[in-house]
Amino acid sequence: MNFSLDRKVLGAILIIEALLLLIPCGISFFLKEASFMPFLISSLIALVSGVVFYMPKAKYSKFSIKDGLFIVTFGWILVSLIGAVPLYLSNSVETYIDALFEIISGFTTTGSTVIPNVEGLTKGILFWRSFTHWIGGMGILIFTLALLPALGLGSFQIFRAESPGPDPGKISPKVKDTAKILYTTYFGLTFIMILFLLFGGMSLFESILYTFATVGTGGFATKNASVGAYGSVYIQMVIGIFMVLSGINFSLHFALITGRLDEIKKNTEVRLYLKIVFLATLFIALDIFFQSHYNFANALRHAFFQVSSIMTTTGFASQDFDLWPSFSKIILLLLMIIGGCAGSTAGGIKVTRLDTFFQVIKREITLTFHPNAVVPIKRDGKTIDDKAEVSVIAFLAVYTLALVLGILLISLDGVSVETAISSVFCTLGNVGPGLGGVGPTLTFLEYSPWAKLVFCVLMLLGRLEIYTVIALFAPNSLRRETNKF
């Protein structure tokens, strides 16, 4: 590993964070809020740390996969450690661990919170919470690659480790160009959604914050009752539709913009994704229509919103879905695991892995009755190799193991079985709110400090798709592969 180069990149990331912290700092200064000084102090800490990391000369000759994994993992940890400081110094939370939980939840686009009354926060803090979703949505590390070409890092390793899913889809041969294209699309989607929310009567400030949380599939709200506080069908549908769009592979957004419609039509993942959204919405709508007080129109509207929110791992709430019938809640739990599409800002195991897994099961059943049959596993009409199959199965096994271990650890904190299972599902899957003691009207505040740290680890593992962290600390897991600049 090239630690001098890794240190330099981490320094650049911290310098960028220092600049980003000046935005909520400026908001707090303009509004004469007490959070101004905490933001200024945090920005200075990030700047000084970044300069110390960045200044020493680095060797630029080699950059390995493990370097990429190191930068991704410790990049997230460092920005979270410093990003939590404003919340703690401004007394928005009681302890630094609470602040760390909140900001890791932000950067990993999880949306779980320890703050019961978000309406009591300053606008600067509210902005920073939602802004971390937007920064984390596509990855602060891709952000670094797009804006700091002076580093000379044509490093596909960082991009590959940071991008959600098995394969985000190649847009350009150069990672720097790919990052710029993705962020142009990201900015475009953000701008359009802000306009739609403004048209619905939402203030500019709240339109920006809800857009940050939607496009980044995060879920931090400015109201205690989340999106349901607005009581607006229009706002609910706009956010619901944009959540679905944000859960789709961003390379397909680019394909749509450039008129390459064939790429979208042949994409098996997005078709399955939309089918799941449709069927889950229909099943839940029928369930709450027959077993609750909703008329069918409202049942369909709230079902669509919550399915979109949970499957894309955004985590907004239009209703307290923890009060829904068991059938609907089980569907939502399953959607927490599935998540969105690869190459999107969503969490979960990703739809493409689910598709591959079911194809493998179907093939094994076929081979039971027809041993000589040749049943290829396909993705977008192309046969995938055995290595890709094994990778998917192995990931699902590791993900399941992480779920089980997480549930066992959290159960030691004295919570109910439903709460333990749900809280681990929604943190490892980067969803946000869950069921039981962590339902949409409740928070993670009552958990013990060590349990909150477990959740922090789960959120980071989910965001980095587990393998990134495991591979980094497994000395024999990677060959010595390097790229020259």
3-49 pLDDT, tens per residue? Answer: 888 898 899 999 999 999 999 999 999 999 999 999 999 999 999 99
> Does 322 have pLDDT greater than 90?
yes
Span 461-485, average pLDDT:
66
- So what's the pLDDT on residue 365? 94
Hey, which bits of 267-409 come out as E strands? 378-379, 382-383
Residue 353 token pair: 């892995």
Span 240-254, average pLDDT:
92
- So what's the pLDDT on residue 23? 98
- So what's the pLDDT on residue 156? 42
Q: Which residues pair with 63 in a beta bridge?
A: 483
More confident residue, 172 or 155: 172
Span 148-155, average pLDDT:
38
Residue 157 · residue 68 · CB < 8 Å? yes
Helix 326-338 to helix 417-428 angle (10° resolution) is 30
Question: Per mean pLDDT, which range of 19-33, 157-171, 327-341 is the poorest?
Answer: 157-171
- So what's the pLDDT on residue 203? 97
- So what's the pLDDT on residue 164? 55
More confident residue, 227 or 383: 227
Q: How far is Cα 39 from Cα 424, in angstroms, rounded to an integer?
A: 31
CA distances in angstroms from 233 to 200, 228, 307, listed in the order given: 10, 9, 16
More confident residue, 176 or 104: 104
Could you tell me whether strands 482-483 and 63-64 are parallel, antiparallel, or unpaired per DSSP bridges?
antiparallel
Amino acid (one-letter) located at 165: G
Residue 69 · residue 466 · CB < 8 Å? no
> Does 484 have pLDDT greater than 60?
no
SS3 319: coil
Q: How confident is the model at residue 239 (pLDDT cuts 50, 70, 90)?
A: very high
Q: How confident is the model at residue 67 (pLDDT cuts 50, 70, 90)?
A: confident
- So what's the pLDDT on residue 485? 32
Which residues, 6+ apart, have CB-to-CB distance to 9 below 8 Å? 71, 75, 144, 151, 153, 158
Planar angle of CA 366, 396, 65, nearest 5 degrees: 120
- So what's the pLDDT on residue 475? 63
- So what's the pLDDT on residue 261? 85
Of residues 163, 350, 321, the one with CA closest to residue 228 = 321
What is the number of other CB atoms lying within 10 angstroms of the CB of residue 325? 13
Burial group, residue 361, by CB count within 10 angstroms (0-12, 13-18, 19+): exposed
Helices and strands, counts by H and E, the chain: 21, 4
Span 78-98, average pLDDT:
97
> Does 170 have pLDDT greater than 60?
no
Residue 58 token pair: 């680095």
Expressed in angstroms, the distance from the first to the final Cα of the chain is 15
Dihedral sign from CA coordinates of 469, 473, 476, 478: positive
> Does 268 have pLDDT greater than 80?
yes
Look up residue 98 and give its DSSP letter. H
pLDDT in tens, 278-295: 999 999 999 999 998 899
pLDDT in tens, 389-439: 888 898 999 999 999 999 999 999 999 999 999 999 999 999 999 999 999
Q: Which residues pair with 102 in a beta bridge?
A: none
Which residues, 6+ apart, have CB-to-CB distance to 160 below 8 Å? 68
More confident residue, 154 or 253: 253
Q: Percent of the chain at pLDDT above 90?
A: 69
Q: How confident is the model at residue 146 (pLDDT cuts 50, 70, 90)?
A: very low
> Does 140 have pLDDT greater than 70?
no
What is the number of other CB atoms lying within 10 angstroms of the CB of residue 296? 12
- So what's the pLDDT on residue 112? 97
- So what's the pLDDT on residue 142? 64
- So what's the pLDDT on residue 175? 60
Q: Percent of the chain at pLDDT above 70?
A: 88
Q: How confident is the model at residue 154 (pLDDT cuts 50, 70, 90)?
A: very low
Question: Per mean pLDDT, which range of 81-95, 184-198, 243-257 is the poorest?
Answer: 243-257
Q: How confident is the model at residue 253 (pLDDT cuts 50, 70, 90)?
A: confident
